[in-house]
Amino acid sequence: MPYSFTRPPPRAPASLAAAKGPSDRPLRLLIAGTVIVPIVLFAIAAWISYQDHFADAEDRLLRTSALMQEHAAKVFETFEVTERYMEEVFGDVSNDQIRAHEAEYNARIRNFIRDLPQLRDLWVIDGNGHPLVSGTVYPMPQLDVSDRDYFRALKNSDITTHVSEVVQARAADTTFFSITRKRKGPSGQFDGVYLVSIAPEYFSNYYATLPENAVSNAAILRGDGAILARYPALPGSPRLGPKSPIMVAIARQPGGGLASGPSSVDNINRLAAYRKLPGHDVYVIVGVAVNTIRMAWLRNMSSHLIFGLPATLALFALAMLTLRNTRQISSAYAQLRDETNRRQTTELALQQAQKMEAVGRLTGGIAHDFNNLLTAIIGNVELALRRVEGADERVGRSLSAIRQASLRAATLVQRLLAFSRQHPQEVKAVDINRLVREMSELIHRTIGESIVVETVSASGLWQAAVDPNQLENAVLNLAVNARDAMPEGGRLTIETSNAYLDDAYVQRTGADLKSGQYVMVAVSDTGTGMTPEVRDKAFEPFFTTKPTGVGSGLGLSMVYGFVKQSNGHVQIYSEPGQGTSIKMYFPRLADEAAFPAWTAAEEPPIPRGDRHSERILLVEDDLDVSRYVIEALSDVGYRVDHAATAAAALELLTATPDIDLLFTDVVLPGGMNGRQLANETQKLRPNLPVLFATGYTRNAIIHHGRLDAGVELLIKPFTTEALTAKVRQVLDGKKA
């Protein structure tokens, strides 16, 4: 069926819409409820449980940090007692006396720290940084600790007590952090320090005994971030950075509190609690990994799923069974509705196709006779114009008006044939970029100076197999339509490109074409645009939005028919006030040698004064057309023989051997058409050229809308110049 227009599917009648089966909406809502409600409840419970797990973790951390603070405070009290003991023992003793009685003092210190595992050693250091005595090192070697921070901090400031970071001992293979107190001379001058050496593992071992469910790490650190002891231990001398969550929280709330975030020493996301020791810039910290809290939460929620999931699935399965039964009941109603809608859609499409088919048949039915009449009218008017030159001017004007009206009527018939895809196409391998360039001057003259014309040509454009004359007419029609849509001026763009129309595009548009490679020609304007209603009807014949008497409504119909006859696709993109773009897609020509190449060379008309002596056999059943053709050809010197039927023509060919051209109409009476006549002629005169004339034909010399290879055709109605030029072309081709 050669006509197809995409239309929306029809709506079902009200009587059918009301005849639906039992509604399954409540069941679908129930099924949704069996899934959504448990999910929502579970999500709420999970959120509450999540918050509770973190609240419990915070509570455990705060309680544990309080316990650690109490423990560390008591230990630091021991350190203070130890420092006071050192002052009592060595307060009035000079450095020389200490050196002289080093063994005695060493024994006293060793006995003092024996039962205090938190103490590693006690030292007395003079004002120059040289140790005098300790509880574990005897005799004291020559050491210099004046570079230690615990020594410099007391020597160079007014503070009396200092807590150091963890350092490597120089007198033994061990580490320690210390609490040092300033040692003063008789006149109050700086005379060294008393050093309490503390074992970090004492705190680490204690932190290891804390409950595992409450702690993943614990530490004691100075206020500047230096870690004094930690469980689990870290290599080196770790220190918290100033942007660590703990240090930020301490700066904001020094006494104690909570902090969360990734640690600056191992980048693990933790929730932590901290507390400050009384009298010291020292903090205890306890933390638990956030993932640990979440895993505990997930284990807890999993136990709920064990019981809740089976019940939810059972309820869901029961609802699905009920829904299935309901749908089976309503299936018959749905099938009835679908079948009714399908039949209505098919009937509407059939009606539309029949309407378009009727237009096509009507066009084809009148085209032959109507074009014969127009040929006779146009030809005889032209002959009359030649013969009245110099006579009454009013007669010449009247004849010219008749000729112009006849030519417009001929154009109307050709557009109808193009829409119905019955216009013969002389297909050639066309370079569309070149064709558009050749048309540029004609387009500029046609649309006027108020519109800017822009051409965008794609490089490497594929060739297409189309009729170049009809493509020119299509582009010109679209340009004229664009001009009418831009009364105040604007921009017209003609664009070419290679394109690939995939299966998704074909399915989306519902177009009757195959997916693959195409050559696209787009004509776009900046005019008034189209409404969706106008856009849907734009290709229908005789539909126009122009005022009465302006346009025939066949311009876009001709474009549509030409593109479809070329196995292509055409699409309109338009919105009111946004302009219009009409895109034509032609299949890519894979084998360029399959069709003759198009050339833009123009054939000059035959001057009236040229004289020729060849003999032509005219086969035409219409007497008016025959009379005109005979006179027109005789005027330029040809000898013309006439036959009204194919049988009479064959007799003349047999009897007259000097005939140079067979000029025959395609549609002939007597049971033999022009194509069959040409075939018989080839048997008698193999080298005799044949020129066909037709106003309409389907299958004699045109198949699938395209002219058969090697066929010369003159389309009715034709002018005298077109007739003489075509005859000369065919004869010269024979001579060549």
Sequence-distant (6+) residues with CB within 8 A of 13 are none
Alpha-carbon distance of 33 to 100, in angstroms, equals: 92
Identify the residue with better confidence: 690 or 695. Answer: 690
Coil, helix or strand at residue 121: strand
Confidence of residue 504 (pLDDT cuts 50, 70, 90): confident
pLDDT of residue 414: 60
For the chain, domain boundaries: 202-290, 428-594, 615-735
Residue 314 pLDDT > 90: no
Other CB atoms within 10 A of residue 231 CB: 21
Residue 396: strand pairing partners: none
From 8-12, 43-47, 454-458, 660-664, the region with the lowest mean pLDDT: 8-12
pLDDT of residue 257: 95
Nearest to 727 by CA among 639, 622, 627, 646: 639
Coil, helix or strand at residue 694: strand
Coil, helix or strand at residue 505: helix
Mean of all residue pLDDT scores within the chain = 81
Sequence-distant (6+) residues with CB within 8 A of 666 are 673, 674, 675, 692, 693, 694, 697, 700, 701
Nearest to 413 by CA among 373, 378, 366: 366
pLDDT of residue 104: 94
Coil, helix or strand at residue 257: strand
Task: Give the CATH H-level superfamily of domain 615-735.
Answer: Response regulator (3.40.50.2300)
| Tens of pLDDT, residues 152-170 | 999 988 888 999 999 999 8
Q: What is the mean pLDDT of residues 667-678?
A: 87
Residue 24 pLDDT > 70: no
Q: Which run of H or E residues covers position 693?
A: strand 690-694
Which residue type is seen at 600? A
pLDDT of residue 408: 61
Nearest to 661 by CA among 678, 647, 637, 673: 678
Q: What is the CB-side half-sphere exposure of residue 711 using CA atoms within 13 A? A: 24
Coil, helix or strand at residue 387: helix
Which DSSP string do the residues of 294-337 spell out, in sequence order?
HHHHHHHHHHHHHHHHHHHHHHHHHHHHHHHHHHHHHHHHHHHH
Whole-model pTM: value is 0.43
pLDDT of residue 344: 76
Confidence of residue 547 (pLDDT cuts 50, 70, 90): low
Residue 613 pLDDT > 90: no
| Tens of pLDDT, residues 171-204 | 888 999 999 999 988 888 899 999 999 999 999 9
Confidence of residue 360 (pLDDT cuts 50, 70, 90): low
Q: What is the mean pLDDT of residues 601-626?
A: 71
Confidence of residue 562 (pLDDT cuts 50, 70, 90): confident
pLDDT of residue 325: 74
Alpha-carbon distance of 323 to 329, in angstroms, equals: 10
pLDDT of residue 136: 92
Pairing outcome for strands 661-665 and 690-694: parallel
| Tens of pLDDT, residues 568-577 | 888 888 888 8
Residue 705 pLDDT > 90: no
pLDDT of residue 574: 87
Residue 337 pLDDT > 90: no
pLDDT of residue 578: 85
Identify the residue with better confidence: 673 or 373. Answer: 673
Residue 572: strand pairing partners: 582
Alpha-carbon distance of 95 to 343, in angstroms, equals: 119
Is 615-735 in the same CATH topology as 202-290? no
Q: What is the mean pLDDT of residues 245-253?
A: 94
Sequence-distant (6+) residues with CB within 8 A of 684 are 650, 653, 654
| Tens of pLDDT, residues 428-483 | 888 888 888 888 877 887 787 888 888 888 888 998 888 888 888 888 888 888 88
Residue 354 pLDDT > 80: no
Alpha-carbon distance of 334 to 321, in angstroms, equals: 19
Residue 410 pLDDT > 80: no
One of 3.30.750.24, 1.10.1060.10, 3.30.565.10, 3.10.150.10 is the CATH number of 428-594, namely 3.30.565.10
One of 3.30.450.20, 3.40.640.10, 3.30.1050.10, 3.40.50.970 is the CATH number of 202-290, namely 3.30.450.20
Alpha-carbon distance of 162 to 154, in angstroms, equals: 7
N-to-C CA span, the chain? 43
| Tens of pLDDT, residues 96-151 | 999 999 999 999 999 999 988 899 999 999 999 999 999 999 999 999 999 999 99
Confidence of residue 713 (pLDDT cuts 50, 70, 90): confident
pLDDT of residue 127: 92
Q: Which run of H or E residues covers position 534?
A: helix 532-537
Contact assessment for residue 582 and residue 570, using Cβ atoms and an 8 Å cutoff: yes
Identify the residue with better confidence: 257 or 237. Answer: 257
Q: How far is CA 710 from CA 429, 603, 689, in A?
A: 15, 19, 11
Residue 175: strand pairing partners: 168
Identify the residue with better confidence: 295 or 314. Answer: 295
Residue 602 pLDDT > 60: no
**Exposed (0-12), middle (13-18) or buried (19+): which is 168, by Cβ within 10 Å?**
exposed
